[in-house]
Amino acid sequence: MRLLHFLILLLLLQQTAWSQDTAYLKKTDTLLHHIPSRATKRSAIIPGWGQLYNKQFWKVPLVYGVLAIPAATFVYNDDMYRKTKFAYEAKFKAGNGDNSDLPLIDAKLQNLSLGSLQSYRNIFRRDRDYSIMWFIIAWGVNVVDATVSGQLKEFDVNNNLSFRMVPYIQPQQQQTGLSLQFHFKNTHSK
């Protein structure tokens, strides 16, 4: 008996689902248009996803190429920072009589003085921090690019754009001049 009630309920719900009016269908159809805020959010989450949403596939390798430069710089500078920091600490300990870490110093850094190691360590730390900043800036540019491209996605750039200069007269103020008139064809409504 419960099964029969359940089947009748399903049939009634199916009938209701098929009787949707066309106004609802038109409303959902407008949801299929391009939404610029989606491009912004997607690009903020994963670099290049907003460009894919905007169907600008050629920009994705550029986005990752631009992001790869500060990422590679970070890896190099972080590695050299760790090496010079260790070498500085080992030479500093060696000055106090503990020579146990001297053989573990990188071969390129063996002959540098304590002052040089300290200077290089600070330079590599500064450059590592700059590479983090440049990575964040590049990611931000990626988001801005997706946002601007998303906003301009439906911008009409056909031959219906026109510009005309027309003389005008203002009799109340006894002035004459030129009026610039722009004519845009609006292809979609908001």
Tens digit of each residue's pLDDT, the chain (190 residues):
776 665 565 555 554 444 444 554 454 444 468 899 999 999 999 999 999 999 999 999 999 999 999 999 999 999 999 999 999 999 999 888 888 888 888 889 989 999 999 999 999 999 999 999 999 999 999 999 999 999 988 776 666 666 677 787 888 888 888 777 776 665 555 4
C-alpha dist (Å) from residue 52 to 41, 135, 159, 187: 12, 20, 28, 24
Residue 160: inside a domain: no
Residue 177: inside a domain: no
Residue 53: the pLDDT is 94
Residue 104: inside a domain: yes
**What is the distance between the terminal CA atoms of the chain, rounded to a whole angstrom?**
52
Q: Range of 62's domain?
A: 36-155
Residue 13: the pLDDT is 53
Residue 173: the pLDDT is 82
44-58 in b/e form (b: 16+ CB < 10 A) is beebbbbbbbbebee
Residue 158: the pLDDT is 66
Compute the distance between CA of residue 81 and CA of residue 118 in angstroms, rounded to an integer: 10
Domain count, the chain: 1
Residue 20: the pLDDT is 46
Residue 95: inside a domain: yes
Residue 61: inside a domain: yes
Compute the distance between CA of residue 93 and CA of residue 113 in angstroms, rounded to an integer: 13
Residue 161: inside a domain: no
Residue 129: inside a domain: yes
Residue 164: the pLDDT is 74
Residue 163: inside a domain: no
Residue 132: the pLDDT is 97
Q: Which of 177, 178, 181 is nearest to 162 (CA)?
A: 181
Compute the distance between CA of residue 30 and CA of residue 15 in angstroms, rounded to an integer: 25
